[in-house]
Structure 1
Amino acid sequence: METLGAEATRRRIADNRLDGSDAVAFAFVDAARHVAYDWHAHTGHQLLYAVRGVVHLETSERRFLLPPQRAAWIPAGLSHRTAIDDVESCSVFFRADLPECPEGVGLRILAASPLMREMIGFATRWPPGTPSDPLAESYFRTLALLCRDWTEAEMPFHLPVARSPALARAMDYAQFHLAKADIAGAADAAALSVRTLRRRFADEVGMSWKDYLHHSRLLGAMARLGDPAISIAEVAEDVGFASLSAFSKAFAQIAGESPGRYRRRLCQAARIGPDRQQNLPVESLSG
């Protein structure tokens, strides 16, 4: 993966003309692959839709996983960094002062309804630098109003970020040892007693170590399910679930669908490029 520093990230944003537009909004189809962008913030609001592949997003407070066929709302001015692997994505950037846009909303992962997907696809006829026209302005203002409704329901595809080095080490231990991680190993990584780790996790992170590990395992499974060479049972074992039934139940609780249906959507997205998606009927997009 290519890792861009701060200056290279700023140049890439400038080259793609993503900031400073006077237009109400525009759409951008990202052709980049296997890139990690450094910390940056956009002058406009971003509605990011992952057609295929998994996007990793991070703010100062949370780490987010954006699965395929889902979207992220990233408000103007929010410092974040992004890592994309083999990802196809499309974004709509709204001018920050557009009154129809959501207000007071942080970065959120959203369920991408068929309407959202169709509207983002149609919006690609107005790429960066396209002169504004009455149809575009009306269209994007309507889309911004719909974003107000969509951002009211957030999908729980995120994890907290540690404020202290000790808890950061415990979190890293969990991420790299999902199958076998336990509280004793996390305490050793953090150089803390088990009792102290439990207390500090609750105080600093706002969730228990057990809940953090459980959520980490499910997000790790979401990323692994994109590889059709690994069976669902193997994914469950790789992230630390004792049985396939327990994994399927926990996965459905967070993702709103079974691991099998989630994988089928990923496989369908992998077969359909973004150019074709714009012209497909809603039924094909929704799986």
Structure 2
Amino acid sequence: MSTITSRSTNPVDYQNLPQPIVVMAKSFSDGFSIPPHQHERVQLLYAINGVMRLRTKRDAWVVPPDGAAYIPAGISHSVSMHGAVDMRTLYIDPLAIRTRPQKLSVMTVPGLLKELILALGEEPVAYGPDSRGSLIAKLIEQEIDRAQALSLHVPLPRDIRLQKVCAELLADPSDRRTLDGWSAVCGASARTLARLFERDLGMSFIQWRQRVRFQSALESLSQGVPVSVVAKLHGYRSPSAFTAAFGKAMGQAPSKVVAQTES
């Protein structure tokens, strides 16, 4: 096993350490993208500032303020930054997180877990088994197990006809075209497209488009764009309609996202 004493910014240096949980600190500029990759360890991707978007072959995820991505070992994923991102990544021995489901998810980061992540980042990388760092790591393990999952993923289609529709909506979430309008784009009838959304993605076209809009809206809100502007940019005719729909789907009002960004 390798041992490092300084805090490297190379993920490779954290994969084979004897410590069950270690922290890597790294900062990224707005728009920076990390191409598809995977790790030997479980990864908990948390940003003190900024918003991250993850992509796998089958899903897209947004990681909001006070959220983190739980990424099982061996899962290929890419990451893009929205706003300047001050990242803290936990690399976790899979045996240290025995009760958490082995699937990618976005989870809440309560205040205690945030402080524990920051505290472990101040400890030596090669902390001993009876050290303060070891105690913090054990608390982190318990807090990860208690964290709540957030429904912030957008499934991606296998069907090539749906891929055309979904790619354009991901590029422009405010697009108001109905399934009848999209049928001309992909060469399938509106009825066929509706059936493909349910079969391939497990939800209706309207539900899928709403998730895409809320992911994009979350990024805009976290960058300080006013709610009234975000509502218009994402296809809502009024801020009140957007606020109600956003709160129902995301579990928090847009104003809370803004407050988290400003804190």
Q: Judge same fold: TM > 0.5, yes or no.
A: yes
The residue correspondences of 1:221-240 to structure 2 (distance < 5 A) are 221-228=217-224, 230-240=225-235
* Shift, 1:18, TM fit: 2.8
Superposition CA RMSD, Å: 2.0
Secondary structure of 2:154 counterpart = strand
- Percent of aligned positions that are identical: 22
User: Conserved in 1, the CA contact under 8 Å of 2:88 and 2:117?
Assistant: yes
2:238 is the counterpart of 1:243:
yes
Secondary structure of 1:132 counterpart = coil
Aligned to 1:213: 209
CA distance in 2, matches of 1:233, 1:32: 29
User: Conserved in 1, the CA contact under 8 Å of 2:65 and 2:222?
Assistant: no
User: Conserved in 2, the CA contact under 8 Å of 1:56 and 1:66?
Assistant: yes
2:115 is the counterpart of 1:118:
yes
2:33 is the counterpart of 1:20:
no
The residue correspondences of 1:115-194 to structure 2 (distance < 5 A) are 115-126=112-123, 128=125, 130-135=126-131, 136-150=133-147, 153-182=148-177, 183-194=179-190
2:21 is the counterpart of 1:31:
no
* Shift, 1:200, TM fit: 1.0
Letter in 1 for 2:199: D
Aligned to 2:255: 260
User: Conserved in 1, the CA contact under 8 Å of 2:67 and 2:107?
Assistant: yes
2:89 is the counterpart of 1:65:
no
User: Conserved in 2, the CA contact under 8 Å of 1:24 and 1:132?
Assistant: no
CA distance in 2, matches of 1:267, 1:120: 20
User: Conserved in 2, the CA contact under 8 Å of 1:64 and 1:157?
Assistant: yes
CA distance in 2, matches of 1:185, 1:177: 15
CA distance in 2, matches of 1:193, 1:87: 42
Aligned to 1:7: none
2:41 is the counterpart of 1:44:
yes
Secondary structure of 2:136 counterpart = helix
CA distance in 1, matches of 2:99, 2:75: 14
User: Conserved in 1, the CA contact under 8 Å of 2:217 and 2:234?
Assistant: yes
User: Conserved in 2, the CA contact under 8 Å of 1:47 and 1:71?
Assistant: yes
User: Conserved in 2, the CA contact under 8 Å of 1:174 and 1:181?
Assistant: no
Give structure 1 regions of 4+ aligned residues with deviation exceeding 6 angstroms.
none
* Shift, 1:159, TM fit: 0.2
CA distance in 2, matches of 1:197, 1:176: 19
Secondary structure of 1:87 counterpart = strand
Change (3 A) 1:109 1:142: same
Name which of structure 1's ranges 236-245 and 187-196 shifts more when overlaid on structure 2. 187-196
Secondary structure of 2:40 counterpart = coil
User: Conserved in 2, the CA contact under 8 Å of 1:171 and 1:186?
Assistant: no
* Shift, 1:127, TM fit: 5.6
TM-score in terms of structure 2 length = 0.88
Aligned to 2:6: none
User: Conserved in 2, the CA contact under 8 Å of 1:201 and 1:208?
Assistant: yes
Structure with the largest fraction of strand: 2
User: Conserved in 1, the CA contact under 8 Å of 2:52 and 2:79?
Assistant: yes
Letter in 2 for 1:211: Q
